[in-house]
Amino acid sequence: DAKTTQPPSMDCAEGRAANLPCNHSTISGNEYVYWYRQIHSQGPQYIIHGLKNNETNEMASLIITEDRKSSTLILPHATLRDTAVYYCIAGGGADGLTFGKGTHLIIQP
């Protein structure tokens, strides 16, 4: 599985778009990028995943660079309930996911 690098923390104002970056420069061609989030004391919540193309669902959008070395998770209209630790994971979907420390996103009222 590829190693990922994320900023340890970020702030975002409520109602604004939250853009969370992730570097995964060693990702291989068939490895997916997964995003999860975890609210304190709960299990991780699946958000979105992608391989090459940008993806969008009801929760977020995932933008993957053409060289696949980095990606950005976009929460279009952040709310206070989006305050959580966000994990970017490259590869490992078929067997065990390797979680790093993630980004602690704090939504400010």
The residues binding other proteins (CB under 8 A) are 32, 34, 36, 41-46, 49, 85, 87, 92-102
Question: By C-beta, is 64 or 87 nearer to other proteins?
Answer: 87
What is the token pair recorded at 66?
A: 């053409």
Distance, in Å, from the CA atom of 93 to the CA atom of 107, rounded to the nearest integer, reads: 29
What are the backbone dihedrals phi and psi of residue 106, each rounded to the nearest 5 degrees, phi first? -115, 120
Helix, strand, coil content of the chain in percent (nearest 5): 5, 45, 50
Smallest separation (angstroms) from other proteins to the CB of 99: 3
Question: By C-beta, is 42 or 66 nearer to other proteins?
Answer: 42
Smallest separation (angstroms) from other proteins to the CB of 101: 6
